[in-house]
Structure 1
Amino acid sequence: MNTTTAAVLVPLLPFAAAALILLTGRRAPGYVRPLAVLPTLTAAGLAVFVALRQGGDEPIGAATRLTRTGNDALPIELALRLDGFAVLVAVLVTVVASCVQLYSTGYLRGDPRYPSYAALVSLFTAAMLLVVYTDDLIVLLVGWEVMGICSYFLVGHYWETAAARSASFKAFLVTKLGDVPFLIGILALASEAGTFRVSTIVTRLTSPLSDFELDHPTLIALLLLAGVAGKSAQVPLHTWLPDAMAGPTPVSALIHAATMVAAGVFLVARLLPVFAASAAALVVLAVVAALTMLGSALAALAQDDVKRLLAYSTIGQLGFMTGALAVADREAAVFHLLTHGAFKALLFLAAGVLIHTAGTASLAAMSRMRGLKRRAPDAYWTMTIGLLALAAIPPFSGFFSKEAVIGAAEHAALEPEHGVPASAGWIVLVAGLTTALLTAAYAARMWLVAFHDPVGARPDPTPVHESASPVMTAVLWLLALPALLLGLAYGTLPDWFDGGDLAPTLTTSVLATGAALTGGIVCYAAWRRAYEGDGLVDPAPGLLGPLHRHAVAGFHLDNAYAAAFVRPVRAAARLVRFLDAAVIDTYVRGTAAAPGLLGALTRRAQTGNVQTYLSALAAGSLVLAVAAVLVAGE
């Protein structure tokens, strides 16, 4: 099998599985699990095969025309672009999707809607792989939008609950809000570049032999950034992601680790020369990344719900990736994308085991967990690995990738080059180091509060429930390996990317690790002080002080949106309803009533009495005679 054929099969297999499950799942439920798991596992094997065959060498491409557009010079093509970035991200997507499908066979055992769930997960995977492998912006947009509709259905899987219905609707609307300018940006970029092919656009912008320049680089970059902010949950379009935790936990792992939110980061990495063509766009990207990192870290530190804490954590880690892109280092961004995908999938699936062990999703609150270190030891140890990677403690994977981001920011701040403003470097550097401290603090808080209950601090244990299935715990240990070891690939990854150096540097390593250790130690001290003071076990109120209640509510951004957009729209809707009922309906009813009234008057005149008709005729004749005499007299 050649590399191109294998690459075509990678997204086709989960797509075919989704179609077969939707067509036959109800009639043959026994085949749903094999159809969900086996094609995705096969796609993962083929993705690894493609990555090994590509091997970081020259990109492999293939294309065929799909259709013409209004401009014959801008055809839409089914084009593949297999470079080092694409093949490695495809491996991440397929491996995480395979783990999610395997895990779901145990987590959703007995769920009557499992067939539709499995089909949507497969379709979700295929759409993300289309985004990763394609070289055509319109085909990329198709995968981009298919992921949006899949997330709508998967987040709303438990549609019986109001929270799930609201979360799915919110996710759909917020991401679509960004997709409108995103589409305009794609069309503007293609119009100026004369092609929808990503590789052609990048080559024209970066080749020393080309004198091509975009006429409106800042406008195009900001339009594309709006779509990225929606998909990758960056400020100010990040509010949908914490609410999306109302869906099944495996879906959360898939969205946060390998699809949907990763798509925006990957797109900016692919189109980085477009953003680098505008210094203003890079500064805006840096500011967005900084606000995202700091705001989400503070919000995560205040959350009691495990999944919402991890959701805010994802937002912050995506901020690190966009920060790396803001300083024009896509190698560091994609490196952190890969390691984050491993340890975040591990954290979410381990959280699912905790919730499963507690017996009900309502016990996702850390303050209500007790004894889970003993009752769920696999989740405890694997989540410990994931939290250490999240906190960027060496030698766990998150340390190396986060260090690469902070090192890139330091380099941009002190030695700006290639048009990267020094201000962007300083913004990302300061925000990154501060976020590293806060990340370690909320990771330590989660570990302490969820697993280490001081004796007598909580009177009632959580109810006993059956232990997680073996397949669920096996998936945890499988993901623990890359969460622990993937960072050690920093020496070989540049061969797959554009070169450069991802190795840790002494200064930033000391600063970042020192910040992380400080955050963990301060959190531990606050945790002990909270327990010894009043028997509480949550250090967050003491750490955040007056800021705590605002951080719990995500700094009331949802309230601000409600005041700025939701309430005015509802008020306008009420006004339209009033006008429709009081004005338009009145005229319609009047138009319908007038013929009826005329008919009633005519009917009353038609009595059927001959004497009445003769009297009326005589009276009319008399009136006419009098009128004629009066006229003749004049």
Structure 2
Amino acid sequence: MSTTTLLGALLPAVPLAAGLLGLLLPPSPRGARTGEDRARRAAIALGVAGAAGALALAVALLVSLDRPAEASTTWVDLGGLTVTLGVRLDPAAALVAVAVAAVALAVQVYSIGYLRRGPHDDVDTDHRYPPYAAQISLFTAAMLLVVVAGDLILLLVGWEVMGICSYLLIAHDRRLPEAPAAAMKAFLVTRVGDVGFLLGIALLGVSAGSFRIADVLAHDHATGTLTVACLLLLAGVAGKSAQFPLHTWLPDAMAGPTPISALIHAATMVAAGVYAVTRLYPLFEATPAALAVLGVMASVTLLLGAFAATAQDDLKRVLAWSTVSQIGYMTGALAVGSTPAALFHLLTHAAFKALLFLAAGAVIHAVGTTLMSRMGGLRRGMPVTFWCTVVGLGALAGVPPLAGFWSKDGVLTVAQEAALHGTGPAPTWVGWLVWLAGLVGVAVTAWYATRLLLRTFFGETRTPLARPHDPPAVMRWPVLLLAVPAALLGLAGFDRAFARRLLLTSTVGEPAGEQALIHVGPELLLPLALLAVGAGLAWLRWRRDPAADPATALGPLRPVFAAAFRLDDVQRALVVRPTEALARAARTADEVVVDGAVEGSGRAALGLGGGLAALHRAALPRAAAGVLAGALLIGLAAVLIGVSA
């Protein structure tokens, strides 16, 4: 094993060790002061050290890795079907690992201040902080395992551990009635997709005779097998990355702590699906039907998330729906054949979405509510948070020269090429669909980003809090540092070496091509015009009445958008209620048929025994009388015989 592959193997191992050690810590004593809480201090040290160690290893891997590398050893050999332990590394994986570790470190540090007090408690510290920090470390380790795994079974292990960690972290504050329900919903909805993901992996492994990713990519799969496998994998991608129709869990997951929202949205769970497709992209590239399905899924999700974000009053839910929409841009780029564009937007999105959630956490920490209708005028008391939010929302909306502008333009450019010139492996109509949806998304995103900024930081204050303030330094510095890549990371797209790192190859050791990710030209004018239209309409509506919500302009569509087209109700009617009815029927059948047969046979035996016992009891006096009479007769006979003798 080379030094490079050793770094790759250690990458998930460091936060894994920190997480496992953290789980051994006892909960913090209730009511303990922060300075006296040894368990909390140990949890902070382990969490920060694990994330910092992972970041250092990821940076070292990025510096040392200039071409793909792999190392593996056979773990299980089932006679024609092998499972290996190993890593598969390339420069793109190293970049994603840096993003994951950096966001995880920011979240660990930020959480020290954010969870200083127990939620809704008059205590000095959250007594469940030690398991919270440990679960973040395990979450990070699971995502890093997905990033570096050289075998589909290892990738699946990381994939499933993330699902468990998300359940635990979303339900961190169990006293909030919505938190456990949201955690269960996230767990169950993603499990639906994971069934397809598992079957897809099994199909590919059996077809190739190995679960090693290099073997799966090199194998000549039958067309039907490959198509079915890729479609099954897309079910898992839809669940993990919150794509239509398995997107409904993500907005409800906002019941969890805000730093966890940053981690899930920016660097772990929702990014995992996109990354998994890039990892196996040569298979999808050979399957136009799967890419067509991916393109439709991406376009619907992109628009669904954008329109739903326009009518939310909850600050975190606006950001959640924006994530759904932005992941749609990434999957759209994959549908039209560009893994570099998808990964570029994944990286910039990790920066500005982590920034936005942590800035939102600072606002919530200061005003004590997530509702924008109770905010307003916060820019004067929270200048650092305000300007960082401006950077994050600008990157989200695609304001030049912030990071999101360049990466989103990269997606729109490849979609335009696919639409107008038929480039890419998918049918031409997929390019048109993704391009047009992406353009509409630009205007809508600018509208709701402007609305969020105006409702939260401008106008008259609508909060009873007298003096809103920026968060303490331990929360402020992660926000400030994340603002740097949110502003500048997009400029890396001009660097050909950076573009080269994002070009994944199907064969380890194959050099990537040389081309820039960004091309400045007339094609930039249309997105910029749509950006100006969207932001301008929101500003004009707010300017007319600063006290009113610009969402009133949506008219009768507002409740439809606020309810996300009532797709939750549709799922409840088509899936949840029939499943519950089936469960009730199964329970009834079990109680009536199975239990009835068992209990009925018992009751029958008991009744038969009772009847026999009754007969026996009824016959007993007669039998006793008969015996007595017989004895008397025998005695009398003996007497008579004796007398006669």
TM-score (norm 2): 0.88
CA shift digits 1:355-377 (9 cap, x unpaired): 10013xxx101011134222322
Alignment map for 1:70-469 (pairs within 5 Å): 70=78, 72-109=79-116, 110-203=125-218, 214-359=223-368, 363-454=369-460, 458=462, 461-462=464-465, 468-469=471-472
Describe the SS at the equivalent of 2:12: helix
Aligned length, in residue pairs: 597
Asked if residue 602 in structure 1 is aligned to residue 615 in structure 2, the reply is yes
Describe the SS at the equivalent of 1:375: coil
Tell me, in whole angstroms, the C-alpha distance in 2 between the residues paired with 1:586 and 1:226.
40
Q: Is the 8 A contact 1:400 1:504 kept in 2?
A: no
Which deviates the most, 390-399 or 3-12? 3-12
Tell me, in whole angstroms, the C-alpha distance in 2 between the residues paired with 1:113 and 1:407.
47
The aligned amino acid for 1:521 is G
Tell me, in whole angstroms, the C-alpha distance in 1 between the residues paired with 2:97 and 2:627.
97
Q: Is the 8 A contact 2:336 2:425 kept in 1?
A: no
Tell me, in whole angstroms, the C-alpha distance in 2 between the residues paired with 1:6 and 1:574.
52
Q: Is the 8 A contact 1:157 1:247 kept in 2?
A: yes
Tell me, in whole angstroms, the C-alpha distance in 2 between the residues paired with 1:436 and 1:272.
26
Tell me, in whole angstroms, the C-alpha distance in 2 between the residues paired with 1:214 and 1:235.
26
Tell me, in whole angstroms, the C-alpha distance in 2 between the residues paired with 1:580 and 1:79.
46
Match of 2:477 in 1: 474
The aligned amino acid for 2:471 is A
Q: Is the 8 A contact 2:25 2:130 kept in 1?
A: no
Tell me, in whole angstroms, the C-alpha distance in 1 between the residues paired with 2:589 and 2:162.
39
Which deviates the most, 278-287 or 174-183? 278-287
Q: CA RMSD in A?
A: 2.2
Question: Against the structure 1 CA distance between its residues 336 and 467, is the aligned structure 2 distance closer, same or farther, given a 3 Å change threshold?
Answer: closer
Describe the SS at the equivalent of 2:71: strand
The aligned amino acid for 2:12 is P
Q: Is the 8 A contact 2:58 2:94 kept in 1?
A: yes
CA shift digits 1:117-168 (9 cap, x unpaired): 1110000000100000112111100000000100111111112222111111
TM-score (norm 1): 0.90
The aligned amino acid for 1:572 is L
Identify which of 540, 549, 552 aligns with 1:538.
549
Identity %: 48
The aligned amino acid for 2:58 is A
| Structure 1: gaps (5+ residues) | 206-211, 618-634
Question: Against the structure 1 CA distance between its residues 118 and 551, is the aligned structure 2 distance closer, same or farther, given a 3 Å change threshold?
Answer: same
Tell me, in whole angstroms, the C-alpha distance in 1 between the residues paired with 2:373 and 2:70.
52
Match of 1:621 in 2: none
Identify which of 557, 567, 581 aligns with 2:567.
557
**Structure 1 residue 528: Cα displacement:** 2.3
The aligned amino acid for 1:345 is A
Tell me, in whole angstroms, the C-alpha distance in 2 between the residues paired with 1:213 and 1:410.
32
The aligned amino acid for 1:564 is L
Asked if residue 591 in structure 1 is aligned to residue 592 in structure 2, the reply is no
Match of 1:620 in 2: none
**Structure 1 residue 558: Cα displacement:** 1.1
**Structure 1 residue 61: Cα displacement:** 1.5
Q: Is the 8 A contact 1:369 1:461 kept in 2?
A: no
Q: Is the 8 A contact 2:343 2:502 kept in 1?
A: no
| Structure 2: gaps (5+ residues) | 29-37, 117-124, 504-512, 631-645
Asked if residue 488 in structure 1 is aligned to residue 491 in structure 2, the reply is yes
CA shift digits 1:356-407 (9 cap, x unpaired): 0013xxx101011134222322211111100000000000000000000000
**Structure 1 residue 469: Cα displacement:** 2.0
**Structure 1 residue 214: Cα displacement:** 4.2
Identify which of 30, 34, 46 aligns with 2:45.
34
CA shift digits 1:405-449 (9 cap, x unpaired): 000001111222353321111111000000010001000000001
